[in-house]
Structure 1
Amino acid sequence: MTNLLVLDETKRHSELCRQVERILEQVAPLVCKTTELELPSVVNFRLITPEQWQADSEAELSGLVQRFRVKRPRWQGPAIRMVERVSMSQFRKAAPLLGGVLVMGATTVGPAEQSTTMLVPEALQHSGILSSPAYLAQLISHELTHHAQNLASSHREVWATKKPAAVLRAGTIKSLEEGHAYWADQEVTRLLFGESKDASNIPESATSDAYKQARKDKRITRMGSPRDIYKEGLNLVSPAVEAVGAATLNRVWTDLSLVPTRQEVKHPELWAARLDRLSPVGTRASRSVG
């Protein structure tokens, strides 16, 4: 049984805290049903200030680099430290806009290697997430799926034994994780509301002027990718689930050889076909999610 914990560290958003608690109780069993993954024994959600988000996110980034550094040869240390300084400088410049305005949710490593989701109420308001319970349900389902992924892959540690960069979500891993969570949140909201709900379709009228301006800010655009990682990932995962089912796809969380290649991310049908070829006989019938 999973213990769902929501803590309002701001001491100012008790109603939002209760709303997150109610949605978690609704969507947790649906996330498990959809993904066929288990949730950890404790799920932590925190409502925090933009300043706390910045401090905790910076600590998370530093911790990930440290995990990466200890897995690499010592002679690579200076180059890794240089990359860390550049990344940290770029993050610090953008952090006030990210944490206070743009970031809808972020799931990181918490106490005792548990996953913890950080939510900034101000950012949820700016982004329009709070304009509809359906958008908040999508966000919570998405982040809950990251909790399940992290439990299955030990926060990517099972991959990192052979590919140290996995702890940084490098290469195609980010597309895989975000695409899988996006696919799951679409399925969960379909089960809840009769149709999928997608925060990328939030009307501009529901977002603040600060949000619109922040998305165009050079500090943010310089950090962005020319690709849409979320839609790219959804296009990767959806045909794979259709081909082999969620349970068989879940082998990827413990088997580095099944992680999609760059070519397979560009051409999702190739990954679906490879998973299909490697699927144990009799598993394909489990692909329906309800």
Structure 2
Amino acid sequence: MTDVKVLYETSKHGDLHEQVESILDKVVPLVRETTRLELPALVEFRIITPDIWQTDSEADLTGFVSRFRARRPRWQAPAISLVERVSLGHFRKVAPLLGGVLVMGATTAGPAERSQTMLVPEALRHSGVLSSPHYLTQLVTHELVHHAQNLATHHREVWATEKPAALLRAGSIKFLEEGHAYWADQEVTRCLFGEPKDVKDATESARSDIYRDATKDKRIARMAPSRDIYKEGLALVQTAIETVGATSINRVWTDLALLPTKRELKRPELWAERLQRAH
């Protein structure tokens, strides 16, 4: 049984609270059925201001680095702290553009086994998410899948014993997490609306001029990954699920050896074949 809590921590877009609650009521059972993953006993979504988003996102980043530092030799601590300071400095420069305009949703580690999803109404409006209830449904579903992933991996702790870098958002893990959530949100929106819905299909008119200008900002452009995490991640996960099924693919959340390699990211059929052999 999963309880849902939607916290309203801003004075704007008062109807968003009810919309998110209504969507969660519909998609919680569908996410569980689609992914074959359990959800936490409490699912928490927060509707917040850009300032709160920045503060809590910093805390999430610092938490990941602290857990990573604790697993590395003590002599590496100064170098890790330097990287943390540089990363936080860069983050603070672009945070107003990210939290207030570009980031549609962010799920971070919460207390105990829980996660929390942060939604900023201003960013949802600028990005076009609020232009259609279908897009908001996709976003809520996508972030809800991250709650299930985090529960399965204990916020990546199941991998971190042997691979401390798993605690940082790098490597094939990000492709796996985002590709899996993308696959699930497409399946759930297909079930609800007869066809998958993707906010990437939003017309330019659904996005504000502020959003379009922000995407052209040089600081944001430098942050953009060289590869499409969502598209490549979806190809990876979809190929594997078509081969071994959603239940079998879930073993990756508790088995470091099953994480896809760099070569398998480029050739998803190889990862599917390896999962099949392991099965």
Corresponding residue SS for 2:104: coil
CA distance in structure 2 between the aligned counterparts of 1:132 and 1:271, rounded to whole angstroms:
36
CA distance in structure 1 between the aligned counterparts of 2:13 and 2:210, rounded to whole angstroms:
21
Residues 1:131 and 2:127 aligned together: no
Q: Percent identity?
A: 69
Q: CA deviation at 1:226?
A: 1.1
Give CA-to-partner distance per residue, 1:92-121, whole Å, 9 cap, x none.
Answer: 111000000000000001133410000000
Give CA-to-partner distance per residue, 1:75-98, whole Å, 9 cap, x none.
Answer: 111111121112111111110000
**Structure 1: gaps (5+ residues):** 280-290
Q: CA deviation at 1:14?
A: 2.5
Task: Report the residue type matching 2:147 in the other structure.
Answer: H
What's 1:35 paired with?
Answer: 35
Q: CA deviation at 1:223?
A: 1.1
Give CA-to-partner distance per residue, 1:19-42, whole Å, 9 cap, x none.
Answer: 000000011111111000011000
Task: Report the residue type matching 2:130 in the other structure.
Answer: L
Residues 1:73 and 2:73 aligned together: yes
Give CA-to-partner distance per residue, 1:213-243, whole Å, 9 cap, x none.
Answer: 0011011111111111111100110000000
Cα RMSD for the two superposed structures: 0.8
TM-score w.r.t. the length of structure 2 is: 0.99
Q: CA deviation at 1:13?
A: 3.0
CA distance in structure 2 between the aligned counterparts of 1:265 and 1:252, rounded to whole angstroms:
14
What's 1:270 paired with?
Answer: 270
CA distance in structure 2 between the aligned counterparts of 1:260 and 1:111, rounded to whole angstroms:
29
CA distance in structure 1 between the aligned counterparts of 2:171 and 2:12, rounded to whole angstroms:
39
For the Cα contact (< 8 Å) 2:113–2:151, is it kept in 1?
no
Corresponding residue SS for 2:223: coil
Matches within 5 A, 1:219-238: 219-238=219-238
Task: Report the residue type matching 1:95 in the other structure.
Answer: A
Give CA-to-partner distance per residue, 1:33-73, whole Å, 9 cap, x none.
Answer: 10000110000000000010001001111111000000000
Matches within 5 A, 1:1-290: 1-279=1-279
CA distance in structure 2 between the aligned counterparts of 1:163 and 1:234, rounded to whole angstroms:
24
For the Cα contact (< 8 Å) 2:12–2:121, is it kept in 1?
no
Give structure 1 regions of 4+ aligned residues with deviation exceeding 4 angstroms.
none
CA distance in structure 1 between the aligned counterparts of 2:20 and 2:106, rounded to whole angstroms:
15
CA distance in structure 2 between the aligned counterparts of 1:269 and 1:262, rounded to whole angstroms:
13
**Structure 2: gaps (5+ residues):** none
CA distance in structure 1 between the aligned counterparts of 2:32 and 2:235, rounded to whole angstroms:
21
Corresponding residue SS for 1:108: strand
For the Cα contact (< 8 Å) 2:106–2:117, is it kept in 1?
yes
CA distance in structure 2 between the aligned counterparts of 1:274 and 1:169, rounded to whole angstroms:
24
For the Cα contact (< 8 Å) 2:62–2:84, is it kept in 1?
yes
Corresponding residue SS for 2:108: strand
Corresponding residue SS for 1:118: strand
For the Cα contact (< 8 Å) 2:40–2:113, is it kept in 1?
no
Q: CA deviation at 1:170?
A: 2.0
Task: After superposing the two structures, state which structure 1 stretch, 35-44 or 79-88, moved more.
Answer: 79-88
CA distance in structure 2 between the aligned counterparts of 1:129 and 1:87, rounded to whole angstroms:
28
Task: After superposing the two structures, state which structure 1 stretch, 223-232 or 203-212, moved more.
Answer: 223-232
Task: Count the aligned residue pairs.
Answer: 279
CA distance in structure 2 between the aligned counterparts of 1:251 and 1:97, rounded to whole angstroms:
37
CA distance in structure 1 between the aligned counterparts of 2:206 and 2:170, rounded to whole angstroms:
33
Task: Report the residue type matching 1:93 in the other structure.
Answer: K
CA distance in structure 1 between the aligned counterparts of 2:177 and 2:15, rounded to whole angstroms:
30
Corresponding residue SS for 1:43: strand
Give CA-to-partner distance per residue, 1:176-210, whole Å, 9 cap, x none.
Answer: 00000000000000000000001111100000000
TM-score w.r.t. the length of structure 1 is: 0.95
